Amino acid sequence: MPRGYSVTISPAHLTAPADAVTVSDTGTTVLHIVTQAVSLGKGCSAQSEVTWARVSPASLTLHPGQSRTAHVHLTDVPSGRHDLGIVFETLGGKKGNVSVNGEVSAHMVVGTGGADPCSLSAPQHHASSMTLLLAVSAILALVAIVAIGALLTGRRRGAHHR
Amino acid sequence: MRKLLIAAMMVLGVLVGLVAAVPAFATCAPGSGDAVNACAAVPQSITLTGLTADIDFGSVSPGTTGTVTGAEAYTASTNDSKGYDLTVTGSGPTLPCSVGMSGGGFCGTLGGGSADVLPNKNDLTITETASAAGTLLPGNAASSGVTIQATTSASSNSYSEDWALSVPATQEADSYTETFTYKLQAN
């Protein structure tokens, strides 16, 4: 039995125009959660809130076992690809010297085109899958062409011998 | 010419077969005739379990170190193939008592200025004793926090932490508080 709070969000990844993220209280305490959309500044700068994306509801309360779906709203998205963190922050208590907040964030990809210079590794995964598929296709096509060429050459030689 | 046409068609057939085969791995096809296809969708998710909302050092005498063994014990998990980043960060220079103090600190409630703060940089140590074992110094981290662990595949890890707060011999008598945030981000 967890002694603190427990939060699950699903999906962990989404790509616009998908906009729904479900948050669940998987523990035994009531959760007070605030939401926000931040730019994933990994590799460039600290995470920062973006003005063109917002999450609704902005705050919610969940009882143990409850779930709720939040939606991401995009307005006037800057051109290019952007990696956002859709953040669900559970606020800490006030009983001790230290109050501990817990954030769980989904990774949302918005837009297309050149990779966000601060983006995470997601685009490389998609790129590598496509590259692999093309490479396999090219190899199979090459093998087929060589085999057919060998077959035709063999037949010509057979005809010359005859 | 006819042989060339046949050869081209064979190459095209190989490529079409390859492309057609890809969706078969990705989707559940409907059953046909007497065949029944069993299909299960596993949703992708990320979970933080068991994080304690408060840590209490109690009364710590000047010139000594207060410790809370097992201050935090929690689990981070995801079935996402890209893994997660887990960080912890202090308040940073946002509290009145720690303006300009990178890494934040424990603020006294009496508001005695710079003398009424326990800087995380000087005084706080977090020791991971389970996954990612080692010592963390959140006060030395940038505002984005200190990384506890970064994974690159589906993973579930349990963390246990001992916290230690060193109080200088001349520290003002007061009640000190600070806020930390654990961030679990899907990669």
What ipTM does the predicted assembly reach? 0.77
Chain A residue at shortest CA distance from B77: A8
Residue A64 gets which letter from DSSP? T
| Beta pairing partners, A34 | A59, A89
Distance from A112 to chain B by nearest Cα, in Å? 18
pLDDT in tens, B110-151: 765 666 888 888 889 999 999 999 988 877 766 667 899 999
Contacts of A92 in chain B (CB under 8 A): 53-54, 179-180
At residue A92, the pLDDT reads: 80
Instruction: Report pLDDT for B41.
Output: 83
* pLDDT in the model for residue B114: 64
Give the chain B residue nearest A142 (alpha carbons). Answer: B11
Residues 6+ apart with CB under 8 A from A138: none
Please indicate whether, in this complex, the C-beta atoms of B80 and A121 are within 8 angstroms of each other. Answer: no
- pLDDT tens per residue across span B12-67: 555 544 444 443 334 566 666 777 888 888 889 999 999 998 999 999 999 999 99
Q: What is the pTM of this model?
A: 0.74
CB-based contact, B164 to chain A, within 8 Å: no
Grouping H, G, I as helix, E, B as strand and the rest as coil, residue A8 is strand
Domain spanning A7-116: CATH superfamily: Immunoglobulins (2.60.40.10)
CB contact (8 A) between residue B45 and residue A42: no
Give the 3-state DSSP-derived string for chain B, with helices as H, strands as E and coil as C: CHHHHHHHHHHHHHHHHHHHHHHHHHCCCCCCCCCCCCCCCCCCCEEEEEECCEECCCCCCCCCEEEEEEEEEEEEEECCCCCEEEEEECCCCCCHHHCCCCCCEEEECCCCHHHHEEEHHHHEEEEECECECEEECHHHCCCCCEEEEECCCCEEEEEEEEEEEECCCCCCCCCEEEEEEEEEEEC
- From chain A residues 103-122, the ones with a CB under 8 A of any chain B CB are 103-107, 120-122
**Tokens coding A44:** 């460039």
For B2, which residue in chain A has the nearest alpha carbon?
Answer: A152
